[in-house]
Amino acid sequence: MSKDLSRLLSRVLRHEPEFIGIDLDPAGWVRIDKLLSQVKKSGFTADRELLDAVVANNDKKRFTISEDGQRIRAAQGHSVEVDLGLLPSVPPALLFHGTATANLDSIFEKGLIPGSRRHVHLSKDETTALKVGQRHGKALVLKVNAGRAHADGIAFFVADNGVWLTEALPATYLSF
Could you state, in order of their start, the residue ranges of all structural domains in the chain? 2-74, 95-175
Q: Which of 12, 77, 23 is nearest to 46 (CA)?
A: 12
Rounded Cα distance between 47 and 33, Å, is: 9
Rounded Cα distance, 143 and 69, in Å: 37
CATH 3.20.170.30 fits 95-175, yes or no: yes
Residue 73 three-state SS: strand
| Residue 58: partners with Cβ closer than 8 Å, 6 or more residues away | 6
Same fold across 2-74 and 95-175: no
Q: Where are the beta strands (DSSP E) in the chain?
A: 30-31, 63-65, 71-74, 95-100, 120-122, 139-144, 157-158, 164-166, 174-175
Residues, the chain: 176
**What was the pLDDT predicted at 2?**
83
Packing angle, helices 2-10 and 48-57, rounded to 10:
80
Give pLDDT tens digits along the chain (176 positions): 588 999 999 999 999 999 999 999 999 999 999 999 999 999 998 999 999 999 999 988 999 999 999 999 999 999 999 999 999 999 999 999 999 999 999 999 999 999 989 999 999 999 999 998 898 889 999 999 999 999 999 999 999 999 999 999 999 999 98
Instruction: Report the pLDDT value the prediction gives residue 135, as an integer from 0 to 100.
Output: 86
CA 86 from centroid of its chain's CA atoms? 13
User: Do 117 and 82 contact (CB within 8 A), yes or no?
Assistant: no
Measured in whole angstroms, the distance separating CA 64 from the mean position of its chain's CA atoms is 11
What pLDDT, on a 0 to 100 scale, did the predictor assign at position 1? 58
Which CATH architecture fits 2-74? Orthogonal Bundle (1.10)
**Would you say 73 and 28 are in contact if contact means Cβ atoms under 8 Å apart?**
yes
Which pLDDT value is given to residue 152? 98
